Structure formats: C-alpha cells, structure tokens
Structure 1
C-alpha cells in the first residue's frame, strides 16, 4: 500500500505529523478525523524513499524499548490528568514505527467499542506480555492505572538494563573466539600452503608439529565442503531436536549445569522471576495468578516446569518456600528469604529484596566471568598462533642447516 505523510493539529491545537500506510487519501483522512485531528495536509510519498521505507518497515519489528517507552508515556499522561483515549491519541501521533502505530490504533478502536484497555491489549499477545496485561487489569480494577503503568515501565527498564549488562559481558569473548578462529583458519588455508612446496623440495625431515599442521591444513583445503555439509547437517538436526519439548528442556538443564555460565543463567532467571513476582503480588494480584504469569514469562524450561509443580503444590496447601525447596532449582538463600517473608507477612517486599540481592550478585558473576574468560581466550589464541609459528619456523631452521651442508 502507498504511504501518506500528514500534517495536522490535535484536540489541543498542537501540531502533529507522521506517515501512514493506506489505500488512499480518503482512508487517511477518515482515520485522522477519528482521532480528533484537524487535517492541514496529506501527501503521498513518492520516489526511492518509499521503497526504502517499505523495505525497512517490512523487516523492522517492535522492540522492547518501544513498549517500555509507551508504558512510560501513557502512565505520565494519565498521571497528569489526561483521559485514556486522549493519551492514546497523543502517543499514536508521536509513534514512528508503523507496525506499532497500527496496533495502537486498533486498541483505540477497541476501547471506543467498549472494551477495557487490558482486553484490547490481550488481543496482541506478541506485543504486550501476560505481565503487562495483568498489571493493567489490576490497575483498572483498583483505579490506579497510571501507577501500574509506572511499575510496568520501571520493571521494563530494569529488564533492558539486565539484558544490556549480560550482552556487553559476552560480546568481547564471543568476538575474540570468532577472530581467533578466523586468524587460525587463514594461516592454515592461505599462508601455510605457500611453504609446503619449499619444504617438499628441500628433502629435509619435517618435525612432528609441522607434519600435524600440514595434515590439518590439507584436510581443511581438500574437504572444506564436506566440513560445511556435516556442520550444516548437524546444525539442522540440533535445531530440530531443540524444537521438541524434551530437547529444549535437556538443553536448558545442561546450561544450568555448566560452570560459570550455569551460575550466570541461574542468577538472571531468579532476578527476573522474583522482580516480576514481587511487582504482581504488590499490585494485589493473588499468588496463584502471579505464579501463572511468571511461568509464561520465564524462558528457561527447567524453571517453567518447576513453577508449574510449585503452583500445584501451593494450590494443595503447601507453603511457597517449601514448594520451592522441593523443586530443587532455587538457591537456598532465595528459599530462606521467601520463608522469612511468609512468616512476617511481607512476601511481596521480600520478593523484591531477593531480586535486588541476586541482581547485585549477577554483577559480581559478570565481572568474574569476563575477568576469567578474557585472559583465557587470549592465552588460547596466543597458543594456537604460537604453535603455527613454531611449525613453520622449525623446518626453516632445518633448511638453513641443509643449505650450509
């Protein structure tokens, strides 16, 4: 569909502008009037920019940052006293992501049609998580929607910060691994073969490291297609296995058992789990409902299964701390803190304290992991390059002895 750029004024007289995909100018005009805008101009985009926009919009999704910013904007506007629909219309006019804008317009139409905000959001589960919808529903019931939106945005920002810290900690080691593999492969495939003819013509006896390296180099150059085919085949089978419930469960279970990486994964999961659980229970959502929401948000299958069993046990009368202890996946410290919260009647506050505690622990784990991995990878890279250099230099020294004779 063609893209139309518009200029208009909202109900407050503030100038707004943007771009909309539509079948024609009449459809754009109707949509803007539905939002209460006074139209100044509507022009169809033409030229190369149209194709570039369509291409970028086709592959561009809706990021978590955009959803968090939306919650923050909506909460701020409602806290300032703006009605829900007016707040939405103001946000729609400022949203540049066409896909997200379409969803927001659909939500506005659903609200005008008599649905609540939580019901309208529930129709878009890929955009608005179960946690987001549950918090909005609780806010609607208690008449504190703006407070719930503030909590959602605060939790969202904490989640983004958590992901950023883990990502930044892993980027350098991963990059170093790929650079090491690239350098070693280049030396074996492109550099070493140039010395082979010289070594063979000299008739000198080649040392063991050189023979090993020549064998590896020859295998890589002659059977690279077979290596790629086997790698692709194994990758396909692995992906197929990971799509099964048993496969992804085993994968997540083995990740938790890995040294360092397993500890990091555990702390990330526990931090997220108790942060969301604390936000839900503090908002008045019953524990059983909160556990169901958390189960749908946590990605590690080991914890998903554990939470399912915990929910069943709690429903049967077992305390949350006892059910967590039986599951065997939660750290003893977390279980002890939950037990303390149950005894003192401050479970929601204790959930947030557990999240804060493991969030700090996560920082220590990230620093420890990076401080260990970086020198280890550098030493490994230096060892491989040194072995290759030694394998090349040893026969050269032998050649010098042959020429002297």
Structure 2
C-alpha cells in the first residue's frame, strides 16, 4: 500500500485535506467515497522525490501544449487542466513532473515561474512563450500556437530520420556482403590455389581476409575507439566548435544543414517576436534551439552588434551563415514592421527547401552506396580471377 495526500470536498462543498493509505488512485477514491469525500487532487507519497531531470521530447511538448490549450480554451482553469493532464499521463517520470507542476500552480505560483524553476524539463522557448501568454492574458492561444510549432518540428525531424533509413540499409548490406566475401567465399577458393598464382592484389585481399577472420576483434576495437573519440571530442567545446564549423562547410551537406537552421531560426524568431519579447532575447532563445556551437558563437556577435545599434539584418548578414535572400527578408520585415509575419512565411519556405534537399541528398547517396558495393565486388573478382585462371591452367 502507498500513502496518499489528498484534497477533497464533502457533500456540503467544504474542502478537506489529509492522508490515506491505498493501493492506487481508484482505491483511494473508493475509500474517500465511503467517507462522503470526493477527490479533487492527490499525490502518491510513496513515489518518492520528483524526477525534475526528466526532459520532455518534442512530440510530448506538442501534446501537452495541445491538451492544455484545448482545455483552457474550453473554459477550464489552468489548475484543473494540469490535474487532468497529469492524471492521464502513463509515463511515470513524466507524470511525477506534471504532478509537481500542478501542485506548485495550485499553491498560487504562476505556470511560467514553476517551469523556470525546472530548467531543462521543457524547451526554453516554451517557457518564454508561456510567460508571454500569461502576461498578455492569451495563454490558451499561445499554448495552441506552441503545439503547432512543436508538431511541425517533430514532423520535420521524423522526415529526416525516415529519409536516412534506406541509405542505412544499403550501408549494412554493403558491410554484410564484404564480410561474407572475405570470411566465407575467398578462404574457400584460396585453399585450392597455390601462392605462385597470386598477384599482389590477391595477396593483399588474402591478408585482409585472414585479419578479418583471426583478428576480427581488432576491427571492433578500432570502430568503438573511433565512436568514443568522436563522443569525447564533441564534449570538448573547442573541438566541437570546429567540428560544427566543418559541418557547415561540407559540400552538399553544409547547405542542407544551413537551410534547416534557417527554418528553425525563422520559426522560433517569429513565435517569440510575435509574443512581444525584446529583439535581443528573441535572438538568444531562437539560436539556442540550433544545435551548433559555431553558429551559437557567431550569434553572440550578432547580439553585441544589435546592442550597439546595428540592424538585425545587417548583423546577421556579417556572420555569413544564412543566405543573402534570408537577410533581405529580415530587412524587409524590419522596414515594414511585419517581422514576425514575414519570418513565419520564410520558415515555411525553408522547411520545404530542407525537405527537398534531404530527398535530393538521399537520392545521391543511394547510387554512391551501390557504386561502393560494385567496387568491393570488383576488387574481389580482380583478386580471385588470376588465382582461378592459374589453377585451371595447371589442371589443363
């Protein structure tokens, strides 16, 4: 049995607080109903401390925003909406966090202040827009807007992941073919041939085959070592910054990444600026969502330039990260006073461009993988043919 704290009302509408031992929430409801008490809120004290380190995924943030926005738009209070939201949550860690948020808001704290006290649980932009919505009295509208934003972000991420599935399958197939050829097929034929029939290429392939069979663990150690080295390098700020810079300068891939960053930045800026936040704060929070240290460092210069009186379009143009058309769009928005609207439209455009670029890049990767597979098989046959020819000549 667990110990529950509860808030309930009696038949006269009087609020009652207390603790009760029960198996679960339904059991608690039944026990209190026998006392003519009806639960309005509760907390399972047996769950231990709340895991405030839980980080909601983009899909979860979209769902939470949609649910809260719909319920508050329908006339429910935020407190009641939060209670219903946590009560329906199946993920135990997420439920614990939402329950803690509900109880803090129930005590009189603002929703945004509670979110700020739990850094990392929700995206920074989510917290900022909730605060803006509370200040302007349009929290329900802001939550619905946030839901659309994060639903779109989740959709874009899923498209990129889905597009990479086929190239990854081809890569796995390529590795499987190489391993099969050099560990099963080549040793079978090599045992029938003499060393004098082998060319330098044949000997090199045989040496690779022997190492793959007898020292396979060395290859695994090397691969794991490379992965660990990359992970460690990514945790070192200076190295990560250089790697992020090289990513943007990489042919084909760099342009795709820059396009995706442009769409993300434009949409975040549109939402934040449209909510009434100051320009500098909008830029800082928008660029924080771009997971690239090189870009983030460059935008620190943008913020400094704007603080010194330079226009946003001119300051961003100096970074050289975004294309000229985007900075021109920002300039038009600044001049016309419709920056949030024009950024929203440009975000849609760059999202579509990113989708098209991903499709095109994947289309280029497929023939590359097939060519690599052809090269591997070609080298294998080039090494095998002299041995087979020499062996057949001797037999003849």
* TM-score band w.r.t. shorter chain: 0.7 to 0.9
Shift of the 403–24 alpha-carbon distance from structure 1 to 2, 3 Å rule, reads farther
Task: Identify the match of residue 81 of structure 1 among 75, 78, 83.
Answer: 75
The residue number in structure 2 matching 1:377 is 369
Shift of the 222–379 alpha-carbon distance from structure 1 to 2, 3 Å rule, reads same
| Superimposed CA distance per residue, residues 203-227 of structure 1 (whole angstroms, 9 cap, x where no aligned partner) | 6522343223112212333433333
Task: Identify the match of residue 22 of structure 2 among 4, 7, 25.
Answer: 25
Q: CA deviation at 1:341?
A: 1.0
Output the CA distance in 2 between the equivalents of 1:184 and 1:134.
52
Output the CA distance in 1 between the equivalents of 2:226 and 2:69.
49
1:162 paired to 2:156: yes
Q: CA deviation at 1:259?
A: 1.3
Shift of the 145–38 alpha-carbon distance from structure 1 to 2, 3 Å rule, reads closer
The residue number in structure 2 matching 1:328 is 320
> Contact between 2:68 and 2:85, CA under 8 Å: does it hold in 1?
yes
Output the CA distance in 2 between the equivalents of 1:377 and 1:300.
28
Shift of the 338–30 alpha-carbon distance from structure 1 to 2, 3 Å rule, reads farther
Q: CA deviation at 1:399?
A: 1.6
The residue number in structure 2 matching 1:191 is 185
Output the CA distance in 2 between the equivalents of 1:36 and 1:123.
31
Q: CA deviation at 1:36?
A: 6.1
The residue number in structure 2 matching 1:252 is 244
394-403 vs 72-81, which moves further: 394-403
Output the CA distance in 2 between the equivalents of 1:358 and 1:227.
41
Shift of the 176–31 alpha-carbon distance from structure 1 to 2, 3 Å rule, reads farther
Output the CA distance in 1 between the equivalents of 2:69 and 2:360.
38
Shift of the 38–302 alpha-carbon distance from structure 1 to 2, 3 Å rule, reads closer
Shift of the 204–245 alpha-carbon distance from structure 1 to 2, 3 Å rule, reads closer
Q: CA deviation at 1:29?
A: 8.0
> Contact between 1:314 and 1:323, CA under 8 Å: does it hold in 2?
yes
Shift of the 3–263 alpha-carbon distance from structure 1 to 2, 3 Å rule, reads farther
Structure 2 residue matching 1:37: 3-state secondary structure? strand
The residue number in structure 2 matching 1:37 is 39
The residue number in structure 2 matching 1:392 is 384
Shift of the 24–265 alpha-carbon distance from structure 1 to 2, 3 Å rule, reads farther
Q: Unaligned 5+ residue runs, structure 2? A: 10-19
Structure 1 residue matching 2:318: 3-state secondary structure? helix
> Contact between 1:204 and 1:402, CA under 8 Å: does it hold in 2?
no
Task: Identify the match of residue 363 of structure 1 among 355, 359, 363.
Answer: 355
Task: Identify the match of residue 88 of structure 2 among 94, 98, 103.
Answer: 94
- The number of residues matched between the two structures is 370
> Contact between 1:271 and 1:359, CA under 8 Å: does it hold in 2?
yes
The residue number in structure 1 matching 2:120 is 126
Q: Unaligned 5+ residue runs, structure 1? A: 5-9, 12-22, 45-56
| Superimposed CA distance per residue, residues 277-324 of structure 1 (whole angstroms, 9 cap, x where no aligned partner) | 101111111211111211322211121112211111111100001100
Output the CA distance in 2 between the equivalents of 1:130 and 1:345.
26
> Contact between 2:71 and 2:81, CA under 8 Å: does it hold in 1?
yes
Q: CA deviation at 1:175?
A: 2.5
Q: CA deviation at 1:62?
A: 4.3
1:278 paired to 2:270: yes
Output the CA distance in 2 between the equivalents of 1:174 and 1:310.
38
TM-score with structure 1 length normalisation? 0.83
> Contact between 2:197 and 2:391, CA under 8 Å: does it hold in 1?
no
Alignment of 1:104-115 (within 5 A): 104-115=98-109
| Superimposed CA distance per residue, residues 107-141 of structure 1 (whole angstroms, 9 cap, x where no aligned partner) | 11111222100111222322211100001000000
| Superimposed CA distance per residue, residues 36-81 of structure 1 (whole angstroms, 9 cap, x where no aligned partner) | 6379xx9x9xxxxxxxxxxxx9xx9743212211110110011111
Alignment of 1:282-297 (within 5 A): 282-297=274-289
1:224 paired to 2:216: yes
Structure 2 residue matching 1:89: 3-state secondary structure? helix
Q: CA deviation at 1:174?
A: 2.2
Shift of the 199–126 alpha-carbon distance from structure 1 to 2, 3 Å rule, reads same
Structure 1 residue matching 2:193: 3-state secondary structure? helix
Alignment of 1:177-216 (within 5 A): 177-200=171-194, 205-216=197-208
Shift of the 140–36 alpha-carbon distance from structure 1 to 2, 3 Å rule, reads farther
Output the CA distance in 2 between the equivalents of 1:105 and 1:179.
47
Task: Identify the match of residue 344 of structure 1 among 331, 336, 341.
Answer: 336
> Contact between 2:333 and 2:339, CA under 8 Å: does it hold in 1?
yes
